[in-house]
């Protein structure tokens, strides 16, 4: 049980400007009762980690369609670690090849959500994960 709405940061790292997916997710999580800090496009790893730190979020959700995830995601994870933000749930979505999934899981991404994901499933996944952590 959490005693506050789940707080989620939704950000798009790097240079791709296609933010429809990120907005759909932000809106869906809002409708699922979560507080979504939406920082939008062209976020550097430093900006994302700083926002996660200051906003004290439970979840960081990254959307990327540029193909640069294997370059940017490790830098984001490193930035989060450096700022001692070590307890957030990491999820990502966008265009992410299956071959990269094992590496991403290893990096700490609990969920990878590609095109066609149901937003209800995503919200439920987040609730379950956060609930499990709070219970632990």
Cβ neighbours around 21 below 10 Å, total? 20
Residues 17-76 within binding reach of other proteins (CB under 8 A): 26-27, 29-40, 44, 46-47, 50-51, 53-56
Rounded to a whole number of angstroms, the minimum distance from the CB of residue 93 to other proteins is: 17
Q: Which stretch binds other proteins (CB under 8 A): 67-75, 77-85, 91-99, 109-117?
A: 77-85
Residue bearing tokens 């999934």:
101
Tally the C-alpha atoms within 13 A of residue 43's C-alpha that lie toward its C-beta.
Answer: 30
Residue 121 DSSP SS3: helix
Q: Which residues bind other proteins (CB under 8 A)?
A: 3-5, 26-27, 29-40, 44, 46-47, 50-51, 53-56, 83-85
């Amino acid at each position: 049980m959490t005693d506050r709405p789940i707080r989620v940061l939704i950000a798009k790292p790097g240079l791709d400007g296609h933010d429809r997916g990120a907005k759909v997710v932000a809106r869906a999580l809002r409708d699922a009762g979560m507080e979504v800090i939406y920082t939008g496009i062209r976020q550097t790893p430093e900006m994302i980690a700083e926002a996660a730190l200051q906003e004290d979020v439970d979840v960081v959700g990254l959307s990327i369609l540029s193909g640069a995830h294997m370059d940017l995601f490790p830098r984001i994870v490193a930035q989060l670690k450096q700022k001692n933000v070590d307890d957030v749930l990491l999820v990502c979505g966008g265009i992410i090849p299956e071959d990269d999934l094992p590496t991403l899981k290893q990096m700490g991404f609990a969920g990878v959500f590609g095109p066609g994901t149901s937003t209800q499933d995503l919200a439920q996944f987040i609730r379950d994960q956060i609930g499990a952590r709070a219970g632990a």
